Amino acid sequence: MNTKIVETENVTVSFDGFKALNHLTFSMDVGELRVVIGPNGAGKTTFLDVITGKVQPTEGRVLFKGKNTKKLAEHQIARLGIGRKFQTPRVYLNLTPRENLEITCNRRKDVFSSLFSSSSKDEKHKVIGLLETIGLSAKADIAAGLLSHGEKQRLEIGMLVGQSPDLLLVDEPVAGLTDEETYHIGELLLALAQSHSILVIEHDMEFVRQIARQVTVLHEGSVLCEGTIEEVQNDPRVIEVYLGQQ
């Protein structure tokens, strides 16, 4: 059995000759929670784009659960078991959190049949469990548009989890959140990490300290260093290119 959930081997992504990723070799284990940090322009978003197939490597290869994703379209890679959370929440604001979750737990149906056909008992239980996990049971039946920014972020994370992905990619989930909301997102990711592989990109070092086990630092499209948060924070190279500027 392959113990790696995702691997990039010597991946380069060139945009008109500029290398956004430069011979990037990275891997993470099944079940791991990994945080990726790095200065602006280090290649963090491109790194997620190359994993999801939004961008093709110019050189090198990407493996998901041991399978080379080269020939696959973005939606096919998603179906292999990757859920991606973008920076801004993408939830249906006119629907309630419960309805938002019902739609995503039931991906084979379209939005209308999900809403107007009765869900099975199992689906209803799954949604109730997810509402609890994301801490929105008390707000399950109000319009999602009335939720705070942090609650919307938690709802979207719940929607991704409802699709039962093997790997969750989470891009800067706490940008623009209050300290309290940031803490809630951290606790949620830690709870989800007990049963999912999660890769988080983040700038907020307080948040990184809350959730991080293993940290990867990207710089100029390559891995600058990897280690525990203490190791990374004390690495002179990281202080020079990143932490010293914060």
Ligand X SMILES: Nc1ncnc2c1ncn2[C@@H]1O[C@H](COP(=O)(O)OP(=O)(O)OP(=O)(O)O)[C@@H](O)[C@H]1O
Q: Considering CB under 6 A, how many residues would be counted as binding ligand X?
A: 11
DSSP letters along 212-231, please?
-SEEEEEETTEEEEEE-HHH
What is the residue whose two structure tokens read 């990109």? 201
Q: Is 46 in the site for ligand X (CB under 6 A)?
A: yes
For the CB of residue 176, give the shortest distance to ligand X in the complex, in Å: 14
Q: Is 17 exposed, middle or buried (0-12, 13-18, 19+ CB in 10 A)?
A: exposed
> Of 92 and 242, which has the nearer Cβ to ligand X?
242
**Contacting range for ligand X; rule: CB under 6 A; set: 15-23, 65-73, 103-111, 158-166:** 15-23
Residue 57 binds ligand X (CB under 6 A): no
User: Rounded to an integer, what distance in angstroms lies between the CA atom of residue 8 and that of residue 83?
Assistant: 18
Which of 44, 65, 196, 219 binds ligand X (CB under 6 A)? It is 44
Closer to ligand X by CB, 24 or 28: give it: 24
Rounded to whole angstroms, how far apart are CA atoms 171 and 37? Answer: 11
Smaller CB distance to ligand X: residue 6 or 161?
6
Contact stretch for ligand X (CB under 6 A) within 14-22, 92-100, 147-155, 230-238: 14-22
| Per-residue buried b or exposed e for 25-45, using 16+ beta carbons within 10 Å of the residue's own CB | ebebeeebbbbbbbbeebbbb
Tell whether residue 56 is a contact of ligand X (CB under 6 A): no
> Would you tell me which residues interact with ligand X (CB under 6 A)?
15, 18, 20, 38, 40-46
